[in-house]
Structure 1
């Protein structure tokens, strides 16, 4: 016997929305935050580095309350970046790993003016080795680009 009335529609709506609500309520891990802030692969298309930075910095929530002074975006897959802390890198000091190979990067720097949004960035592209700081975490390492 089929259910009648609004209950099947509400049940279907609940089944569709529940996973989305649970995902929104979950806190971002340090590892996820590192990827959000520093990994852009494939590289987002923009006419030049300045427009790239002015597009990506707010898109990645790096200008929500204040303008982040500087940020580096790595244009490699997340697994390649994570591998710097393993076989793809060399331990330099207690928690710093240097990549064995260079990565394509875009470096965004605040271009003077206000420290509050809207923010204006200048950008520069580069290919160089990266240094990643790993932070102690029970499940996995996350870091910042040095």
Structure 2
């Protein structure tokens, strides 16, 4: 019985640790895919990645748009050392390869389907303590 209790304690401790994902770690999980994950059916890239990375909006709803950047996380960290714009956003020094995933059908996760679009854009992020924590938008 004591072994079972110890096992349950370790499982609960591990789960509690997983729940303590920092904002930067969440940002990387939801937005950085480097090198780009290869999928057999390119049109399913977004569906697979959103599922695999557990990209969910509030209240278990499908995100309308999610962007995966195909560059090292450091390229996005480097944006945080740039001069912010008037809205307080930081822009990557160069264009980065990315896939923009726009919601096609579905309202609640995991029944979300997306339409992928490949691009090379500057990425605008919000930063806290020199680390990106929110992907605000992209621009050509």
Number of corresponding residues: 128
Partner Cα separation in structure 1 for residue 135 and residue 114 of structure 2: 20
Partner residue, 1:57: 50
TM-score (norm 1): 0.73
Deviation at 1:128, TM superposition (A): 1.2
Q: 58-67 or 74-83, which moves further after superposition? A: 58-67
The answer as to whether partners of 1:37 and 1:73 remain within 8 angstroms in 2 is yes
Partner residue, 1:78: 73
The answer as to whether partners of 1:98 and 1:132 remain within 8 angstroms in 2 is yes
The answer as to whether partners of 1:70 and 1:108 remain within 8 angstroms in 2 is yes
Deviation at 1:66, TM superposition (A): 1.8
Consecutive unaligned residues of structure 2, counting only runs of 5 or more, are none
Partner Cα separation in structure 2 for residue 124 and residue 48 of structure 1: 14
Q: Does 1:105 align with 2:98?
A: yes
TM-score (norm 2): 0.76
Partner Cα separation in structure 2 for residue 93 and residue 48 of structure 1: 41
Q: Does 1:30 align with 2:12?
A: no
RMSD, aligned α-carbons: 2.6
Deviation at 1:91, TM superposition (A): 2.1
Higher Cα Rg, which structure: 1
Consecutive unaligned residues of structure 1, counting only runs of 5 or more, are 1-6
Deviation at 1:81, TM superposition (A): 1.5
Q: Secondary structure at the match of 1:83?
A: helix
Partner Cα separation in structure 2 for residue 72 and residue 28 of structure 1: 20
CA deviation vs aligned residue, 1:40-66 (integer Å, no higher than 9, x gap): 111110245431101001111124822
Partner Cα separation in structure 1 for residue 75 and residue 12 of structure 2: 31
